Amino acid sequence: MLLKNLLPFGSKKDDMYFEKVPYTVLNHEALKKKSRVTIVIPVYNAEKYLIKAIDSVIVQTFGFADITVILVDDGSDDKSKAMLKKFADLYENIVVVYLEENTGTPAFPRNLGIHLANSTYLMFLDADDWLDHGAIRQLYGLMEEAKTDYAVGKTIQVSSKNEKLVGRYESCKVRKSVSPYSIPHIFYHLGPTARMMRLSFLKDHDIRFPEMKYAEDKQFFIDVLTQVGTISTTTAPIYYINRFADNVSLTRQTDIIEKMDTNITVLKYVMEKNLPPEEEKMIVNRLIEFDSITRLFNRKHFVKSEDRQAYFDKFEEALDVFTSYDRPYSLGETIKKPLNKHYYSLLETKEYERVAALAEWATSGGESWVEERDGLPYTIASLQDGTLIPIEIPVQAKVQSETQSGKNISFTIKLSGHLHPVVQAVELQNRDFLEDVFLIEEIIEQTDDELTLTFSKKSLSFLEKGKYILSLRYDDYESVMVEKQSDEKYHIEGNDQTYILYQTNKGNLSIMVK
């Protein structure tokens, strides 16, 4: 049955916002029955990947009968509409909404999905991405156990060349009912991926996506995280982002200066919230250090630009927005990464030619070497104009000695750098499967800046055959690889496997299981 614009079932609120675009609905009866989870999928000319996205929801181990899918077509002119009709005919819990005109942003389709949803929890899925088969079961179970309004898991970006973990800090460990501000970079990954929210929380706080060409999800999830109280996280793989070369999204088409315009809009929005300073600083750090320094200057598009002044002007505009508010902290306090501190210092004093030289060095792998100054290590950046810039190295880890005692292998490791971290675990990342990350805590003995790792058959017995990147985990999710100068290999024999500790081509300690 086809139905014109409707209010969500059980609601008497007349919201004119949802009347501004005419739409029709297929399978609207599904919205009368409250489900456990709603998946909202905005669709625009997504014929190539749409089936994979929807199928990833249908095959969920959670059970498709407990899921409602709301697909909002934003005026597609390819085969998407016909494909959606077929899914609606096959499944009564797949609700299809046809907007009669294109809105130019995922904001209205997502907001309409929230508006129409009738469930306990809600997730978003883009029409060219897909969910892990166990995604909903993992997040639903965590939400139910922790009693939070928000949970997030692992996002993996997939291209024809490789896979990359996105926002590792929010999925590096299991956390239950913690403050979002206890996760230092929680505001760095603010896309709609891999997260589940309590629907009543979104509706009670009237949280919506602003209708912007870019950064609408950034502002939305800033609203969520600043109002939610506590959140939960899991290490389980949840969401796969499609970054294949033939998938050209709206975001990838957006000019960097347009992106900065919307980032500045979001910065103003955040400053107007007048949050407690320590909370505000975390969001400002994201909007300035990440969006207005790393993404603006530490990129090849800046180095190749014929109008670099436009970049500097946009940074000045962001700086002016911040300084127009009376805050008890300086913008420089929010900059954390050593390289970005140099960018900021040069930008603040308007040494623009040197900013360009530093960007050329950073993006082209320019000449550098490691040097100790006052007992601390620095990467010395040799710029093309002859300037030498010492960039702090936060943590270094080097094997000092390696011994074999019976069937055990021990490495004594010296830590140095500008930080003095407590190493929490040895992290083993499968080189072929990003989903497989393992932590070993019990093999570590640390005294100040020296630690010993002792590997045995028992400590490695859980590993399957393959190659693993070895690093030391500290500060929850930060990690450093271990330099190994010796090319000596060590073998630990298991029942039916051999564990080999060796030096990689790049001179790091690593593990192979055969």
DSSP annotation of 508 reads B
Q: How far apart are CA 236 and CA 315, in angstroms?
A: 37
Q: Report the percentage of the chain scoring pLDDT > 90.
A: 87
Q: How far apart are CA 257 and CA 311, in angstroms?
A: 7
Q: How many helices (H) and strands (E) does the chain have?
A: 15, 26
Q: Which tokens is 292 given? A: 């207005």
CB 127 within 8 A of CB 44: yes
Residues linked to residue 450 through DSSP beta bridges, in sequence order = 414, 447
Whole-model pTM over 0.75:
yes
Q: Report the chain's mean pLDDT, rounded to a whole number.
A: 93
CB 88 within 8 A of CB 64: no
Q: How far apart are CA 40 and CA 27, in angstroms?
A: 15
45 closest CA partner among 78, 23, 87, 82 = 78
CB atoms < 10 A from the CB of 33, how many? 12
DSSP annotation of 32 reads G
Quote the pLDDT of residue 252: 44
At 306 the three-state DSSP class reads coil
Most confident stretch, 158-162, 168-172, 247-251, 277-281: 277-281
Residues linked to residue 128 through DSSP beta bridges, in sequence order = none
391 closest CA partner among 461, 342, 453, 346 = 342
Q: Which tokens is 236 given? A: 């389980």
Q: How far apart are CA 63 and CA 140, in angstroms?
A: 12
Q: How far apart are CA 135 and CA 189, in angstroms?
A: 18
DSSP string, 447-461: ETTEEEEEE-HHHHT
Tell me which residue has tokens 């009968």: 65
Q: How far apart are CA 104 and CA 251, in angstroms?
A: 12
Q: How far apart are CA 47 and CA 45, in angstroms?
A: 6
Find the radius of gyration of the CA atoms of the chain: 25
Q: Which tokens is 380 given? A: 């010395």
DSSP string, 216-227: HHHHHHHHHHHH
Q: Which tokens is 227 given? A: 């109002």
468: burial class by Cβ within 10 Å (0-12, 13-18, 19+)?
Answer: buried
Q: Which tokens is 71 given? A: 């697909």
353: burial class by Cβ within 10 Å (0-12, 13-18, 19+)?
Answer: exposed
pLDDT digits (tens, 9 = 90+) for 413-469: 999 999 999 999 999 999 988 788 899 999 999 998 999 999 999 999 999 999 999
In one-letter notation, the amino acid at residue 203 is K
CB 91 within 8 A of CB 7: no
The pLDDT-based confidence of 160 (bands split at 50, 70, 90) is: confident
At 485 the three-state DSSP class reads coil
**More reliable by pLDDT, 412 or 247:** 412
Backbone angles phi, psi at 255, to 5 degrees: -65, 145
pLDDT at residue 247 is higher than 80: no
Quote the pLDDT of residue 251: 42
391 closest CA partner among 399, 406, 379, 403 = 379
User: Mean pLDDT over residues 492-503, rounded?
Assistant: 93
pLDDT digits (tens, 9 = 90+) for 73-132: 999 999 999 999 999 999 999 999 999 999 988 999 999 999 999 999 999 999 999 999
CB 412 within 8 A of CB 509: no
CB 271 within 8 A of CB 325: yes
